[in-house]
Amino acid sequence: MVNFQFRIMQADDLEEVLITETSSHLTPWKELHFLDCIDSNYWNYVLVDCNAPFALIGHCVVMPGFEEAHLLNITIHPDYRRLGIAKKALQAIEQTCIERNFGRILLEVRQSNVEAVSLYQAVGFQQVGIRKGYYPLPLTHQQNAREDAIVMQKTLTTKIDLS
């Protein structure tokens, strides 16, 4: 198991973040997307390998909302996959959400992304809908072709405040 920790994403991280992002998604986020999330004070994290502290092994972005959080991005560097890192990262995000009394986490995932759907199912997310044509497809696909998103959510057991 790789020991890793969360660190708040800085603009300086983006060169490295974009390498992982670009090698991982059909239509990767651009620098501007990450900068917008940093400006908006979302929960923007890089995952750092504790045994190689300067190595960024993944990143995630969560948009906190009113009583719910929206997972916008979770990406693990290809060399670090299937080691349980995303699962552990999602559990940590979930814990933070529970501490803030959020009732659920929502996300969208490409219908074709079986790896990610398996991951989300493995940590207890359930499909609650489909967003038709939500995702663009790369230019190599048919012109203007788009892909549906599966909407998934996990309901959280919120802390009861006895004070």
Ligand X SMILES: CC(C)(COP(=O)(O)OP(=O)(O)OC[C@H]1O[C@@H](n2cnc3c(N)ncnc32)[C@H](O)[C@@H]1OP(=O)(O)O)[C@@H](O)C(=O)NCCC(=O)NCCS
State how far the Cα of 36 lies from the Cα of 145, in Å rounded to an integer: 26
Phi, psi of 107 (to 5 degrees): -160, 160
In the complex, the smallest distance separating the C-beta of residue 93 from ligand X, rounded to whole angstroms, is 12
SS3 (DSSP) at 144: coil
Residue 42 carries which DSSP code? -
In the complex, the smallest distance separating the C-beta of residue 88 from ligand X, rounded to whole angstroms, is 7
Token pair recorded at residue 28: 């990767």
In the complex, the smallest distance separating the C-beta of residue 123 from ligand X, rounded to whole angstroms, is 8
In the complex, the smallest distance separating the C-beta of residue 48 from ligand X, rounded to whole angstroms, is 14
| Residues that bind ligand X in the complex, under the rule CB under 6 A | 24-25, 74-76, 81-87, 109, 113, 115-116, 118-119, 122
Output 38 or 151, the one with its CB closest to ligand X.
151
Instruction: Indicate the pairing of strand 104-110 with strand 146-155.
Output: antiparallel
Q: Is 133 left (phi over 0), alpha (psi -120 to 50) or beta?
A: left
Q: Spell out the residues 6+ positions from residue 22 whose beta carbon is closer than 8 angstroms to its own.
A: 28
